[in-house]
Chains A and B, each alone.
Chain A
Amino acid sequence: MSVRAKLVAALAATLLLILGGFWWALDSRESERRQFEFDTRSSSIAQLLSRGLAYPLWNVDTKAIDLLLDTVSTSPEVASVSITATGYGRVVPMRGNDAPKDDVVVRTEPIRYVAADGLAREIGAVEIVFSRVPMRQALAQARGAHLGMVAAVLLAVFAVTYWLVGRIVRRPLARLDRSMQHFAEGDFAARCPIETNDELGRLGAQFNTMAARLAASTEALRRHGEQLEERVRERTAELARAVDRAEVASRAKSAFLANMSHELRTPLNGVLGFAQLLQAAPPEPERLAKGLAAIERSGQHLLGLITDVLDLAKIEAGKMDLFPQRIDPRRLLDDTLAAVSIEAERKGLVLTLDGPARMPAVLVDGQRLRQVLLNLLGNAIKFTAGGSVTLRVACTESPDAVLLAFAVRDTGIGIAAADLARLFRPFEQLGDADHRSRGTGLGLALSRQLVRHMGGDIHVHSEPDRGSEFSFELRLPTAAGPLADPAVVRRIAGYAGRRRLVLVADDIELNRQVLCETLALYGFDVAVACDGDEAVRQATTLRPDLILMDLTMPRLNGTQAMERLRAAAATAAVPVIAVSASAGAEEREAAMQAGAAGFLAKPVDQAELLGTLGRCLALEWRDG
């Protein structure tokens, strides 16, 4: 049942009750009033007639009596009138009309006359028969009229109220209802139009507020859900990618291991093969020299391989550190070119450096730049049977930096477009087996990583049978100050001055042996310690000139040992060179913090060892 129907029903019932009561009261009053009026009127007519008739009857003026009776008897209520004279009877014929005779009231009034003598005489009587029927008919008509009036009022009030209720209550409610229905059906934009400031208007406004909040929170929830889904998708994709990467990496690692195994076996085969060959029979001096040279070459190859693999691993792990130094590019280029000129010459190639004669000094890790250039030039020479290899360098200066563009161009076999994608992958060697046997297969991958590390990238332009060009650009800051000593390859026989005592502390005997042999070769006295603790005791006892301290040792590690040495007055001034198989920057930094004078990575390069020793002990080398 709708609100309107309820209101209308309640209204109708109330109105019916009120107006019914009103009508009943009105009708009762009207009935009483008419009855009273009838009584009064009939009495007064009878009285008036009796008074009016007094003189005519006294005078027996029948004409006047007739006239009076005519006047009275015209009333529809008067059924009959008769006038009687005392002692005589009817003076005139009885008057009557066709008024109904059934419901009548008889009024009798004496007729009195006061004559000239002052005496009142009852000279007759008037008898009027009044019919109530006209009164009842009039009452019925009035009742009908009242009923009509009440019905009209009822209808009017009902209609007006119906309209008002519709306007004030139902329409706003219907609007609210529609809005709520729309809202419930999912139209979150559904709002109730507000037209009034009454309870319904406030209800609508509250609904709107509620709807807005609900819509907002639903929207937020939806967005949140979407974000969540998006995040899940992203994560899933990332996971998938990670899985892919992991699989790829796993596959790559498997391939890498397989390659490594093959690559390592080749030089080891040379080393072991020749070593066994030399041990089996006393070699002739010529064969001995040849064999040792083959062993050394295989060992060098093996070391290069390991170094490259480690470098690559460091770069991929993000642990490759660059050590920029002030470098003269021209000098670095000349040195690099010189290093490969022998091989080029051997193959009969024209090796050319095409670049400005003078270039400004820059801050760069010269050793790494040289490594890259050597790799590119080496490859160019390797894959070029005849023609030329050119290193072209362009230098563009700006206020505080220099843009160096390097390009290595050859006239070699070139690279097929399909192979260009594989070119920089580790262990991916192009070309025939002959060519392959002469490289680690890591060079280009490492070079690209290094260049990228230095802020550039290597690009390849190649045409099969026409040649290739590898190029890269580096933006390097210009530098003022002394130039770094380029690594100069010298043949050292010993050093000037008294013999120096070097304490070698390492828990692994092979490492101790290599270092002891090497140091002894260059004229140093050597003492050894198997752990940190012993190293501290030996240092205190022997007072060595320098200590080569392995950082990873049992009982007391190198760093702790250094701290003790620094703490003791006797050993505080003894320089310590930290040696570690972990060649990371953190290791180096920690060692320097602990008071190390230098740092060497295992396997220890002889030249590096000598360089560091010379610097720490201020030695003057003697060439051999």
Chain B
Amino acid sequence: MPTRRSVLAAAMVSGFARAAARVPSVVFLDPGSPSPTPSGPMARAAADYMALAAGQLGMRLEILHASHDHLQMIRHAQAVAARAQAPDYAVIVNDKMAAPAMLEALERSPVRVFVIHSDVTDEQRTTVGHERERYARWIGSAVPDNTRGVSRLAAALHRELGAQPVSALGITGPSSTPVSNERAKGLADYLAGVPGARLEQLVYGDWSEGDGERKARVLLARYPQANLVWAANDEMALGALKAARERGSAAVIGGMGGFARALRSLDDGGLAATLAGHHLIGAWALVMLYDHANGIDFAVDGGLRRRLDNLQVVTRASLRDYESTFGEHERPIDFRRYSKAHHPEIKRYDFAFAALGAR
């Protein structure tokens, strides 16, 4: 049963009259579960940071969990659309290509829709169109720029190899998921620019640690010379690490997500790098919606379909820095600092990890 959790964040209005006049309400249709699951730590983390951001910005946030049942997710959208007191915004994820159905459900309500995390694909857009076109209530989209992120990750892994010629193996997500290819493309793009580097083989995994381990075992046997293994998430990267250790391979291994286990592995000398920042995309979306609610349309700065280059490589070297921000004893991020409504001097939104560290 989906649970309903409302986070009522009192608007902390400090000399900000316009904002004080109105408290925007947001519903997040979370494809995942309320508690962490092996396959969905990112979604969980995203919800947590959204709640943090809503609290800081003074927005009312309601999260409806679908527990990875996209039909449930669509029913939630229909229920929200039918409400008498409809929220101002709905944040949805194109999980399992369910976005068009939710857009259709919410189009007949006053709710404005914002897509995060998994973009509506180009193929879907041939039928549903783009933001603010056929579905006028769909006001914008914001996804992390995985390709550029992975390229940065690959470069970091390459640096670990030193002068060795690169013989790389890639384990990405399921081929049916657009992000899998986006992320793999980052690897291929980077290696294409490195003379003598070979991407021996890219395989499709199922995000699980076990699958990463199985695939890595076979691939490392198939390509004994491989010295770089990239996986599209930290789980699979940890599996590959296990396999490499079994086979006695010295390949450098990198994952994505910046999960706690991955960070520990970095610390232990296991994984060489991970790519973090996905968990903040929801929070960044709330910042933009907050400004939108306060009359500042994000469209004027970077368009309606945004790729946020907010992903940051975490290596053993940068681990301390990262943990200082997101670790157990972190200093909480103040999301108000990124709002144009709070800071009219901001001309362009900059949600990069480096920007966090800079502050």
Interface pair B224/A58, CB less than 8 Å apart: no
CA distance A115 to B222 in the complex (A): 13
Min Cβ gap A111→B in Å is 11
- The reply to whether A87 and B221 form a contact with Cβ atoms under 8 Å apart is yes
| Closest chain A residue to B210, Cβ basis | A62
Q: Is there an interface contact between B222 and A59, defined as CB atoms closer than 8 Å?
A: no
- The residue of chain A having its C-beta at the shortest distance from the C-beta of B223 within the complex is A87
A86-B222 contact in complex given A60-B214, A60-B215, A62-B214, C-beta closer than 8 Å: yes
Is B203 on the interface with A (CB-CB < 8 A)? yes
* Shortest distance from the beta carbon of A105 to any chain B beta carbon, whole Å: 28
Closest B residue to A87 using CB positions = B221
Query: How many A-B pairs fall under 8 Å by CB?
Result: 32
**B218 at interface by CB-CB < 8 Å:** yes
Does more than half of chain B's interface fall in helix, strand or loop, or is it mixed? helix
Contact indicator A88/B221 (Cβ below 8 Å): yes
Binary interface encoding of chain A residues 53-73 relative to chain B, with 1 for a CB under 8 A from any of its CBs, else 0: 000011111110000000000
Question: Is residue B217 within 8 Å, beta carbon to beta carbon, of the partner chain?
Answer: yes
Chain A residues with CB below 8 A from B214, complex form: 60, 62
Is B201 touching A91 in the complex (CB atoms < 8 A)? no
B217–A88 CB distance below 8 A: yes
Q: Does B232 contact A (CB under 8 A)?
A: no
Q: Min CB distance, A410 to chain B, in Å?
A: 169
Counting CB contacts under 8 A, is A332 at the interface?
Answer: no
A123 within 8 A of B: yes
Complex contacts, B215 vs chain A, CB 8 Å:
59-60
B218 touches A115 (CB 8 A): no
Contact partner of B222 (CB less than 8 A), chosen from A61, A62, A63, A123, is: A123
In the complex, the chain A residue whose C-beta lies closest to that of B220 is A88
A-facing residues in B185-226 (Cβ within 8 Å): 201, 203-204, 206, 211, 214-215, 217-219, 221-222, 224
Most buried by B among A62, A86, A115: A62
Residues A58 and B201 in contact, CB atoms below 8 Å apart: yes
CA of A88 to CA of B203, assembled, Å: 17
Given known contacts A87-B222, A88-B222, A61 and B204 CB-to-CB distance under 8 angstroms: yes
Rounded to whole angstroms, the CA-CA distance of A85 and B201 in the bound complex is 15
List the B side residues contacting A59 at CB < 8 Å.
203-204, 215
Min Cβ gap A19→B in Å is: 59
Residue from the list B204, B211, B218 in contact with A85, Cβ < 8 A: B218
A85 cross-chain contacts in B, Cβ below 8 A: 218, 221-222
- What does the 1/0 interface line of A297-336 toward B look like (CB < 8 Å)? 0000000000000000000000000000000000000000
Are A87 and B224 also in contact (CB < 8 A) when A60-B214, A60-B215, A62-B214 are? yes
Q: Give CA–CA (A85, B216) in the complex, Å.
A: 12
**Distance (whole angstroms) from the CB of A86 to the closest CB of chain B:** 7
- A377-411 near B? 1/0 per residue, CB < 8 Å: 00000000000000000000000000000000000
Cα A87 to Cα B218 with chains together (Å): 8
Residues of chain A at interface, number, CB under 8 A: 15
Tell me, rounded to whole Å, the shortest Cβ–Cβ distance linking A114 to chain B: 13
A88 engages B201 (CB within 8 Å): no
Nearest CB in chain B: distance from A425 CB, A? 159
Q: Contact partner of A91 among B203, B218, B224, CB < 8 A?
A: B218
When the two chains form their complex, are residues A115 and B201 in contact, meaning their CB atoms are under 8 A apart? yes
What residues of B have a CB within 8 angstroms of the CB of A115 in the complex?
201
The distance in angstroms between the C-alpha atoms of A198 and B28, with both chains bound, is 104
Q: What CA separation (Å) do A115 and B202 show in the bound complex?
A: 11
Give the docked Cα–Cα distance between A86 and B221 (Å): 7
Chain A, residue nearest B206 (CB): A63
What is the CA–CA distance of A78 and B214 in the complex, to the nearest angstrom? Answer: 26
Alpha-carbon separation in the docked complex, A61 to B145 (Å): 28
Residue of B nearest to A89 (CB): B221
Interface 1/0s, chain A 87-102, versus B by CB < 8 A? 1100100000000000
Within B258-273, which residues are at the interface with A (CB < 8 Å)?
Answer: none
With both chains docked as a complex, state the minimum distance between the C-beta of B83 and any C-beta of chain A, in angstroms.
41
Q: Within the assembled complex, what's the spacing in Å between the Cα atoms of A85 and B221?
A: 8
A584 to B: closest C-beta gap in Å: 163
> What residue of chain B has the Cβ atom nearest to residue A57's Cβ?
B218
- B-contacting residues, A17-70, CB 8 Å: 57-63
Nearest CB of A to B230, in Å: 15
* Residue of B201, B203, B206, B215 with highest tally of chain A CB at under 10 A: B201
- Most chain B C-beta atoms within 10 Å of own C-beta, residue among A60, A61, A62, A88: A60
Give Cα distance in the complex from A87 to B219, angstroms. 10
A63 vs B201: C-alpha distance when bound (angstroms)? 19
Give Cα A86 to B223, complex, Å: 10
- Return A178 CB to nearest CB of chain B, in Å: 93
- In the bound complex, residues from chain A placing their C-beta under 8 Å from that of B218 are 57, 60, 85, 88, 91
Distance from A243 Cβ to chain B, minimum over Cβ atoms (Å): 146
Name the B residues within 8 Å of A88 (CB-CB).
217-218, 221-222
Determine how close the nearest CB of chain B comes to the CB of A242; give it in whole angstroms. 146
**Nearest chain B CB to A581 CB, angstrom units:** 172
Give the Cβ gap from B146 to chain A, nearest Cβ, in Å. Answer: 21
- Cα–Cα distance between A62 and B216 once the two chains are bound (Å): 12
Write out the residue numbers on chain A whose beta carbons fall within 8 Å of the beta carbon of B221: 85-88
Cα distance A94–B98 in the bound complex, in angstroms: 39
Checking A60, A61, A62 against B219 with a beta-carbon cut-off of 8 angstroms, the contacting residue is A60
Write the nearest CB–CB distance from B211 to chain A, whole angstroms. 8
A88 and B204 alpha carbons, distance in the complex (Å): 19
Q: Which residues of B are found within 8 Å of A58, using beta-carbon distances?
A: 201, 203
CA separation between A86 and B204, bound complex, in Å? Answer: 19
Beyond contacts A61-B204, A87-B221, A88-B217: 5 other A-B pairs, Cβ-Cβ < 8 A, are A59-B215, A60-B219, A86-B221, A88-B222, A123-B222
Instruction: Offer 28 A-B interface pairs, CB within 8 angstroms, sorted by A.
Output: A57-B218, A58-B201, A58-B203, A59-B203, A59-B204, A59-B215, A60-B203, A60-B215, A60-B218, A60-B219, A61-B203, A61-B204, A62-B211, A62-B214, A63-B206, A85-B218, A85-B221, A85-B222, A86-B221, A86-B222, A87-B222, A87-B224, A88-B217, A88-B218, A88-B222, A91-B218, A115-B201, A123-B222
Query: Which B residues have a C-beta under 8 Å from some C-beta of A?
Result: 201, 203-204, 206, 211, 214-215, 217-219, 221-222, 224
Chain A positions near chain B (C-beta within 8 angstroms): 57-63, 85-88, 91, 115, 121, 123
6 closest A-B pairs by beta carbon, nearest first, are: A88-B221, A60-B215, A87-B221, A60-B218, A59-B203, A85-B218
